[in-house]
Amino acid sequence: MPKKIIYKAQTELLEILDMQGKADAKLLKNIPADLFVPLYELMFRMRKFDEKALNLQRQGRIGTYGSLRGQEAAQAGITLALEKNDWVVPSFREHGVAIGLGLPMHRIYLYWKGDERGNIVPEDMRLLPASVPVGSQFQHATGLGLAMKLKKESSVAVGFGGDGATSEGDFHEALNFAGVFKAQTLFFIQNNQWAISVPRSLQSASVSLAQKAHAYGLPGLQVDGNDVLAVYLASKTALDHIRSGKGPYLIEAVTYRMGDHTTSDDHWRYRSKEEVQYWEARDPINRMRIFLTEQKLWSDKKEENLLAETTRLVESEVEKLEAIPAPDPMDIFNHMFASMPWNLKEQQAQLKRRLG
Ligand SMILES: Cc1ncc(C[n+]2csc(CCOP(=O)(O)OP(=O)(O)O)c2C)c(N)n1
Ligand SMILES: [Mg+2]
């Protein structure tokens, strides 16, 4: 018997805005025009939140912080495509998504202050706490997506992870399971080119991360993650696909972590000036501002007002943060075990004596 081709695949890349802020007119028609300004404003808020966090860390007012600078389009595009009842399962860099969902900034700063109370999500939000073990979020997202299906809800669970997270076994298990059981899950990969100091080229020999979806029987789409319009459209397409019962979907948003991995890192030890400059020229916020200005939806005056309003918001959130009393040191023993093991009880008693 001659050999037959049993499977052929191709992976698409979606881009709408070019570097001059010009949009593909045909694709643009798929995006409600009344979202253009909100997408920009949300990215702007994320950037100001982030700049303040870095300053607070350098002043010793919060602890180690992981910046999202450069990833604002990826995070705003998906967030504004979500519906109220969708589940968000973040890793540790999705503060922009949390802001977009309405989590007050001071809660997020509190978490990065090393205070786990900042990681307690209000009950009325379908947002899981930030989670540091790389890749573990995907399995939670698959589980939630399956739960939504069994409950016959049209909600989707979105699991976030980075390029590095796609090398974890968890990622592959989650995709495999979701594919077989048609979980209502969107896997949203922010490929920011680096996993701490490990470049994308050492992460996988695949041409794209999006194509990994094909092996598990689900669609995978690559999108320009610094083009907020493209990320919105890709997300909307994926969410509609999942809501209509066709099963899970994977998006790879190609973007760049413009700063250090966290404030404990120095990215200049492993990245060149040229590389960083290349991506700075692709800053997602500047690109969208050019587009809005060309569309006559933006002006210097509007930018000035937005800056003043956002600065006020961020400052008032920092005031709220700093008005929160420090946690009780005894809390360190709580919330881990249903009944405390003997050795922790001993340590608890010791600390109590010490604190008087
Ligand atoms: C299971 C696990 N291994 C290692 C680490 C240490 N670690 C924290 S972030 C990170 C890199 C993650 O890279 P990526 O998934 O690309 O996300 P990014 O930090 O770029 O947003 C590593 C290795 C961890 N937190 N969890
Ligand atoms: Mg990464």
Rounded CA separation 116/131 (Å): 11
Cβ(47) to ligand 1 under 6 A? Answer: no
pLDDT at 106 over 90: yes
Give me ligand 2 centre to Cα 171, in Å.
14
Q: Please write the tens of the pLDDT for every residue from 315-352.
A: 999 999 999 999 999 988 887 899 999 999 999 999 99
Averaged over 9-27, what is the pLDDT?
Answer: 94
Give the pLDDT score at 334. 85
- Amino acid 213: pLDDT: 98
Ligand 1 neighbour 74 (Cβ under 6 A): no
**Cα 178 to middle of ligand 2, angstroms:** 23
Query: Residue 356: is its pLDDT beyond 90?
Result: no
Per-residue pLDDT tens digits for 286-307: 999 999 999 999 999 999 999 9
Q: Which ligand is nearest to the CA of 90?
A: 1
Residue located nearest, by CA, to atom 11 of ligand 1: 195
Looking at 69, 107, 241, 261, which residue is catalytic? Answer: 261
90 within ligand 1 shell (Cβ under 6 A):
no
Is residue 111 flagged as an active site residue?
no
Q: Name the nearest CA neighbour of 252 among 186, 196, 197, 205.
A: 186
48-58 average pLDDT score: 98
Q: Residues with Cβ < 8 Å from 196, sequence gap 6 or more?
A: 164, 261, 265
Whether the CB-CB separation of 183 and 145 falls below 8 Å is answered with yes
Residues ≥6 apart with Cβ < 8 Å to 169: 135
**CA 226 → CA 31, 98, 208, distances in Å?**
16, 19, 16
Distance CA 232, CA 80 (A): 7
- % pLDDT > 70, the chain: 100
* Annotated catalytic residue 271: no
107 noted as active-site residue: no
- What is the average pLDDT across 116-141? 95
Give the pLDDT band of residue 235 (cuts 50, 70, 90).
very high
Predicted pLDDT of residue 317: 98
**Among candidates 187, 167, 191, 162, which has minimal Cα distance to 78?**
187
Q: Which atom of ligand 1 lies closest to the CA of 168?
A: 1
Q: What is the average pLDDT across 166-189?
A: 98
Mutate to test the pocket of ligand 1, among 95, 187, 196, 212 (most ligand atoms within 8 A of CB): 196
**193 C-alpha vs ligand 2 centroid, how far in Å?**
5
- Which candidate, 239, 242, 250, 251, places its Cα nearest to that of 146? 242
Judge if the beta carbon of residue 133 lies within 6 A of ligand 1.
yes
Q: Mean of the per-residue pLDDT values for the chain?
A: 97
pTM above 0.85, yes or no: yes
Closest atom of ligand 1 to CA, residue 190: 21
Share of the chain above pLDDT 90, in %: 96
For residue 187, give every residue at least 6 positions away whose Cβ sits within 8 Å of its Cβ, in sequence order, or none.
138, 141, 159, 161, 171, 174, 175, 178, 213, 248, 249, 250, 251
Whether ligand 1 lies within 6 angstroms of the CB of 317 is answered as no
Does residue 148 register a pLDDT over 90?
Answer: yes
Q: Look at residue 19 and tell me whether its pLDDT is greater than 90.
A: no
The span from the CA of 223 to the CA of 12, in Å, is: 8
| Of 216, 98, 118, nearest in space to 158 by CA | 98
- 17 DSSP assignment: B
Distance 175 CA to ligand 2 centre (A): 19
Does residue 192's CB lie within 6 angstroms of at least one atom of ligand 1? Answer: yes
Residue 234 CB–ligand 1 contact under 6 Å: no
